[in-house]
Amino acid sequence: MVIVYFILILTGVIMVHELGHYLFARLFKVKVLEFAIGFGPKIFSVKGRETTFRLNVFPIGGYVRMLGEEGEEIADEEEKEKSFYAKPAWQRFLITLAGPLFSILAGYLLFLPITLNWGIALPGIDEVVPGSPAEEAELRRGDVVYSINGKIAFDTSIISNEIQKGLPVELVIIRNGEKKSLRLIPRMYPETYEFVLESAEGTPSGKLVSVNGNRDTSVLKEFVNEYVVLEFEGGTVKGILKQFNEIPARYMIGISFSGLAPVFKKDIYFKEGLFVFKKGDRIVRVEDQEIEGWQDLVVLYQRLTLGKDAMMVSLQGNDLEWWRGLSGSVRVVIKRGDSTIEKNVEASFLKNILETPDLLEMGVPRYKPKNPLEAVNLSVKACNYVLLTTASSLKNFFRNVQTGQIVGVVGLAGVISAASKTGLEAVLTVVAVITISLGVLNLLPLPALDGGRIIFSLVEMITRKRLNPQVENIIHFLGFIFLMILFLYITFLDIGRMMGI
């Protein structure tokens, strides 16, 4: 079924894009020979009055083939007038621009019914650190961050980037359906050490005093995959340092963001119709760990991943938090109505539950504007954010800064698969993001892409000199080869991410 979703979505997105080219070509009386979805051998075709509409085997793109577009000679004068290169540069510019423009506009139009029907996802607050600026401003668990310094908080990174400046911030939060403005001053927090010990012995307590006898505790990072002896004020811990992560000192306001709630969205069966958890059950404890929100679930998942003989430790200044891994049978305490129920389940089964999409409720509800005008405004701003984020990701990709934000066909199939398990809203959101991203991608000034053709048209409009169409098509052909190599590279990255490489 995922393959069907994938093909339908990709076909629809490509069709909208190519429709832009087709309609503007017809508007300027350019003869369209083919309107194709996909590349490769033909699956089927329909012959129109002038245009052959065809569906090809590989749904990784599409094209509108116009008369004379490949620079071929046309003997018939009447036909020549209908060719692509017979038209002035400004018309060719608009025909080429129409594809990306239709893609981007389709995304904007699709976001509006999503916002009107389901609302928009905004970051919620999961934990408030005692004594932090957030606690002093009376932020609470369950508050939703609407904006920071006038910027709508479509993503947690928007909030983090503003806080990292270290300047006072103006937050607008939503609490019980009402907006409330707060002013906070970020505070500098010390660096954080997060590490995992295997074959761990001992119990840490208090401040870290020494590492293998060295009182300069920053040398801990040098002992990855080695046996270490860690002296704390209240005890000694020994083990093999398997993972180490250092987070530098940074400005914070003392909040963690919400994700999923420890409340089951549907019944969970173990086997043969046997209920383990029922819809509405809330996890309140697993072994020695209290479970209140998303951050607790994150820690729980890490413990289930580590196994019994491992220990995970987080040190921030004098603040210490540590947990042992979990394996085998674990005791889970749930709240069902007014009753408290204890169950023993396998750690692997509980880990699988946390990995499965759409089994747990969201930590905070989506924000659904009461005013239609606000919904339109939010929808447009959400699309603007997607557009700018896509452009930034592409820039970073070509600078080789971040490749994790770019996905190809294989990665796209994974995204659609995850969305299809969540619901219609998630699928439509993915479609909107894909079509906007396709529009932005095609505006890149690379030969064979619409952006490359737009550049040629602009140069001709400015210089009033036309490049030989055959030379231009050779350049586009070389660009196509480059894009195919790039496509294979991104596919390799997708497969590597799937395999955890």
Residues classed as catalytic: 18
Measured distance CA(93)–CA(454) in Å, rounded: 6
Q: Could you identify the residue written with the tokens 């995204």?
A: 415
Q: What is the CA 83 to chain-centroid distance, rounded?
A: 42
Q: Is 369 helix (H, G, I), strand (E, B) or coil?
A: coil
Measured distance CA(240)–CA(197) in Å, rounded: 5
Neighbours of 319 (CB within 10 A): 12
**What does DSSP assign to residue 119?**
-
What six digits make up the tokens of 472?
A: 């231009």
What six digits make up the tokens of 2?
A: 């995922």
Q: How close are the terminal C-alpha atoms of the chain, in Å?
A: 27
132, 168, 319 from 255: Cα distances, Å:
8, 15, 16
Measured distance CA(269)–CA(267) in Å, rounded: 7
Residue type, 281: D
Q: Is 75 helix (H, G, I), strand (E, B) or coil?
A: coil
Measured distance CA(359)–CA(265) in Å, rounded: 5
What six digits make up the tokens of 235?
A: 């005890």
Q: Could you identify the residue written with the tokens 């000192």?
A: 249
The answer to whether 196 and 240 have CB atoms below 8 angstroms apart is no
What six digits make up the tokens of 245?
A: 């992560």
φ/ψ (deg, to 5) at 276: -105, -50
Q: 188 - beta bridge partners?
A: 251
DSSP assignment of 267-330 = -EE-STT-EEE-TT-EEEEETTEE--SHHHHHHHHHHHHH-TT-EEEEEETTEEEEEE---SEE
The answer to whether 238 and 230 have CB atoms below 8 angstroms apart is yes
The answer to whether 361 and 265 have CB atoms below 8 angstroms apart is yes
Measured distance CA(2)–CA(364) in Å, rounded: 28
Q: 499 - beta bridge partners?
A: none
